[in-house]
Chain A
């Protein structure tokens, strides 16, 4: 198998995970300018929901995914109503501090309940092994992962581009005050969008266990990647997030394949260069 293609395949699968975990943050940041550093804690929560249901309740893997989505969406709405909505007009610093606080609490809570070890997860047999196509090996789980992520992306794009709800979201991202002036209930819209975005993060976290592992540091480790996707992709842009997630997935994978000694240096350099060249992101307008 050509090593370059294998690397690209892994990078794309990884990028899909990053996209699922970050697209919600991108949209909510674009709409409310709320810097939610706890977004990856939602992803981690999704991961732990799946692990608990599979290992303690014996649920099949695919059945746990919708539960992860719903549970995380519900938890995020509670947090949004109790904490976040008080800080929409407070500036970035209080927002950062509040959400860093939530990250710390979530990490400690996860460590208290589940311990600091990697969580074991036993995928069903039909998701293990690999497929031989045209002389190349494709891990089945990663193919499924890419398929699920692509399906969700299509669903998202259709929702945002072709439904009334999507039109309201686009209006609110573009110009929140104008949208309010036209009678759109931006607060409710935001709460719903926030829940959907967090739910997607939870789903991403659940899907990520088999590829990235799950331990309490997940909330902080992948937060950086999610922020990179959002900042490089541009706020509120689904296409931008998708492109940035693919780019980050492939570049990070390439770094790990070819220059492992440099660890993550490569992606940080790429990120800094991208932000300096285009502060509004790849597809950003602001």
Chain B
């Protein structure tokens, strides 16, 4: 790494890219479940997988402004790919992850040509339609996917040929967390690059970006493909650690869940999705005795509440509160505005 001191946009980006204490504390805290809650490691691995999936949606929705109501399509393709190669005799987890990510990445690349051309209602309809189409196709191709019963007989080999996946989720959580961390660092690098800045430009004003010479369509295709790969990795992790895949992996409900997590945590912030995933998954576990029908009642209320009162999510709300405190401390007497 070269340490150049260039003024201008590069310096701004580099200042943003510096790791902060709070971030390091966050990642150290992800190790706490090993010590504090060893009974909940299976749940922790589910949280890590959900967080990876949310991160993928954050890249396209939060940072680039591409609304998707069918993001589960890529998650499902990753999950089914990893499951299928395992059923057909190759259960090595890491290579399975790579193959699954490649498969969903190819689908993402192909569909990105469509995605890049549309915005607004047409885009919503297309993402919704692609997701539903894929789910119907998986249902119709029951000879391949097992249809409604799900894929039977997934067996994941030990990690590195050595470490078995145990019942307590020790390996599963370590594995999912490691993948999450690696992908997060990569995503962080992307967001703090000039390319990431261009994506935010597209989000803020998609019409003006081409006018200043930014290749909007190719930027959207790139980030959409990257997001599809990450979603596929999350899906593959799920089928490898739980040894099951069902049509639910492709469903609208999953696309909606991941949106809820992202909005809850705060879209357009790297940690927003992660926080949202933790809160959502832990709450769902706490209410697991509840009929899923009624769980969605609370999710619905939560969605309405968040968009009405906390439009930037938990992290956005916290940042706003911190900002207010700071400005209140700077100006004395303190402001007494509502």
Contacts and interface: CB of A to CB of B under 8 A. Distances in A.
Interface of A: 29, 35, 83, 86-87, 92-94, 96-98, 100-109, 111-112, 116, 216, 220, 224, 227-228, 230-231, 235, 261-265, 268-269, 271-272, 275-276, 279
Contacts, number: 115
Interface stretch (B14-22, B102-110, B123-131, B185-193): B123-131
Interface string B297-316: 10111111011100100000
Contacts of B300: 100-108
10 contacts: A35-B124, A92-B67, A93-B67, A102-B300, A105-B304, A107-B296, A108-B297, A112-B294, A271-B125, A275-B129
A235 B122 CA distance: 11
A103 B303 CA distance: 11
A189 to B, nearest CB: 21
Contacts of B260: 97
Instruction: Please name the 5 residue pairs, one residue from A and one from B, whose CB atoms are nearest each other, closest first.
Output: A104-B300, A101-B303, A108-B297, A105-B300, A101-B304
B303 A100 contact: yes
Contacts of A230: 121
A40 to B, nearest CB: 13
B136 A109 contact: no
B301 A101 contact: yes
Contact of B293 (A102, A116, A265): A116
Interface string B167-180: 00000000000000
B308 A97 contact: no
A227 B122 CA distance: 10
Given A83-B308, A101-B307, A224-B132, A93 B61 contact: yes
Contact of A97 (B126, B252, B303): B303
B283 interface: no
Contact of A275 (B61, B125, B299): B125
B335 interface: no
Q: Max chain A CB contacts within 10 Å: which of B67, B124, B129, B267?
A: B129
Given A92-B124, A100-B303, A276-B114, A265 B294 contact: no
A220 B139 CA distance: 18
Contacts of B330: none
B322 interface: no
Contacts of B118: 275, 279
Given A100-B256, A265-B137, A272 B293 contact: no
A76 B118 CA distance: 30
Q: Max chain A CB contacts within 10 Å: which of B120, B267, B293, B294?
A: B293
Given A97-B263, A116-B293, A235-B121, A264 B132 contact: yes
Nearest to B134: A268
A231 B125 contact: yes
A107 B296 CA distance: 8
Contacts of B137: 265
Nearest to B301: A105
B136 A264 contact: yes
